[in-house]
A and B are shown apart, each in its own frame.
Chain A
Amino acid sequence: MKQKTIFIVTATVLLLAFVAGALFYTGQQEEAANQLAVSNRDALVRTHSSIAGKADAPVTIVEFLDPACETCREFYPMVKQIMADHPDQIRIVLRYAPFHPGSDQIVAMLEGARHQGKFWVALETLLAYQINWTQNHAANPEAAWKLLGGIGLDMEQMNKDMNSAETARVIAQDLADAKTLNVTMTPEYFVNGKPLPSFGFDQLKALVDQALADSKAR
Chain B
Amino acid sequence: MTHTTPTGWTLIFSAWLIATVSTLGALFLGEVMGYTPCLLCWYQRIAMFPLVLVLAAGLFPLDPRVVRYALPLALAGLGLALFHLALTAGWIPENLKPCQQGVPCSNIPVIWFGFVTIPLLSVLSFLLISGLLLAAHLKGSK
**What is the interface of chain A, defined by CB distance below 8 A to chain B?**
3-4, 6-7, 10-11, 14-15, 17-18, 21-22, 25-26
Contacts and interface: CB of A to CB of B under 8 A. Distances in A.
Interface string B21-55: 10010011001110000000000000000000000
A7 B28 contact: no
Contacts of B31: 22
Contacts of B32: 21-22, 25-26
State which size class the interface on B falls in. 10 to 19
B13 A7 contact: yes
A18 B28 CA distance: 7
Given A6-B13, A10-B17, A18 B60 contact: no
A11 B59 contact: no
A45 to B, nearest CB: 26
Contact of B60 (A4, A10, A14): A4
What secondary structure prevails in chain B residues at the interface with A?
helix
Given A21-B32, A22-B32, A7 B59 contact: yes
Given A6-B13, A14-B21, A21 B28 contact: yes
Contacts of A7: 13, 56, 59-60
B75 to A, nearest CB: 24
A4 B56 CA distance: 11
What secondary structure prevails in chain A residues at the interface with B?
helix
Contacts of B20: 10-11, 14
A174 B31 CA distance: 28
Interface in B56-84: 56, 59-60
B126 interface: no
B17 A18 contact: no
A27 B105 CA distance: 29
Contacts of B13: 3, 6-7
Nearest to B17: A10
In the A-B complex, the 6 residue pairs with the closest CB atoms: A22-B32, A18-B24, A25-B32, A14-B20, A14-B24, A3-B9
Nearest to B9: A3
B136 to A, nearest CB: 14
A3 B28 CA distance: 27
Nearest to B34: A184
Contacts of A17: 24
Nearest to A26: B32
A3 B59 contact: yes
Contacts of B27: 18
B33 A25 contact: yes
B14 to A, nearest CB: 10
Contacts of B28: 18, 21-22, 25
Contacts of B33: 25
A26 B31 CA distance: 11
A36 to B, nearest CB: 16
14 contacts: A3-B9, A3-B59, A3-B60, A7-B13, A14-B20, A14-B21, A15-B24, A17-B24, A21-B28, A22-B28, A22-B32, A25-B32, A25-B33, A26-B32
Contacts of A14: 20-21, 24
